[in-house]
């Protein structure tokens, strides 16, 4: 692969991209807490699987991932950069592939992965997560 063309300004901007406690994630956590749900944050749901979920409901075995539209290739909002296009397509497709692998690994261990896009309303996403968690708790 060709080396990545970058500038100090691009490197500075990209290094500021938060991977934890983003505004979207915090809004979702507030909505879940307001709905009476309690959870763990930034945990690996399955021992031996090096994947960290943003929000984890241990008793229900539900792992919530808040995915950024750019980084995870949202079907509605993904943009494909023109500069370093091959690099970014490879990076984003790799993220998508890893997401599918994560979902599969968690399912094999008895967990359910729930994916929330950053563009979703926190309240709607929280309601979707709440319904799944309550359903799985009732089944156990």
- pLDDT single digits (tens) 4-34: 556 676 566 655 566 688 999 999 999 999 9
* For residues 85-90, average pLDDT: 93
Is the domain 19-139 a CATH 3.40.960.10 member? yes
What the block records as the tokens of 55 is 């929000």
pLDDT at 98 over 60: yes
Supply angle C-alpha 34, 38, 40, rounded to 5.
125
**Residue 100, pLDDT score:** 97
* Domain boundaries defined on the chain: 19-139
């Amino acid at each position: 692969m060709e080396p990545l063309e970058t500038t100090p300004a691009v490197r500075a901007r990209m290094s500021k991209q938060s991977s934890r406690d983003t505004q979207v994630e915090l809004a979702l956590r507030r909505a879940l807490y307001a709905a009476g749900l309690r959870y763990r944050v930034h945990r690996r749901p399955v021992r031996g699987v090096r994947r960290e979920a943003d929000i984890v409901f241990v008793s229900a075995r539900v792992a919530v991932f808040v995915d950024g539209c750019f980084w995870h290739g949202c079907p509605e909002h993904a943009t494909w950069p023109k500069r370093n296009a091959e690099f970014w397509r490879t990076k984003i497709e790799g993220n998508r592939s890893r997401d599918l692998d994560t979902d599969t690994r968690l399912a094999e261990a008895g967990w359910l992965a729930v994916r929330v896009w950053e563009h979703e309303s926190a309240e709607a996403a929280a309601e979707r997560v709440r319904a799944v968690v309550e359903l799985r708790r009732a089944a156990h």
